[in-house]
Amino acid sequence: SQTIHQWPATLVQPVGSPLSLECTVEGTSNPNLYWYRQAAGRGLQLLFYSVGIGQISSEVPQNLSASRPQDRQFILSSKKLLLSDSGFYLCAWSSGTAYGDEAFFGQGTRLTVV
């Protein structure tokens, strides 16, 4: 069966510090991978998605970047965190069929930038 792991679960970082959140998927190959952010009191915003190794699409301009060094690994990074980067970050995967499919989510990382 497929599983998705995301860590850490919580993170408190000072403004200006770097960030690295990691997500790995097991039990499937060539998944579509996604990073979403859920800001406090707001909805779910798609940040990045990837259809393959090294292929990253950014949905909104921001202080963050994403990388996919391996087929089932997706990393969210920042060189210098801003206060506005605080939020709940969710990694997800889907099988990537052209006609739509279920997205499976990790448990999320709650990031607080202080």
The residues binding another protein (CB under 8 A) are: 6, 32, 34, 36, 38, 42-44, 46, 49, 90, 92, 94, 98-108, 110
Nearest CB to another protein, comparing residues 15 and 39: 39
Q: Burial, 16: exposed, middle or buried (Cβ in 10 Å; 0-12, 13-18, 19+)?
A: exposed
Judge contact between 17 and 77, C-beta under 8 A: no
Q: Please, what is the minimum distance in Å from the beta carbon of residue 107 to another protein? A: 5
Judge contact between 106 and 74, C-beta under 8 A: no
Q: Please, what is the minimum distance in Å from the beta carbon of residue 79 to another protein? A: 26
Nearest CB to another protein, comparing residues 18 and 27: 27
Q: Please, what is the minimum distance in Å from the beta carbon of residue 70 to another protein? A: 20
Nearest CB to another protein, comparing residues 43 and 54: 43
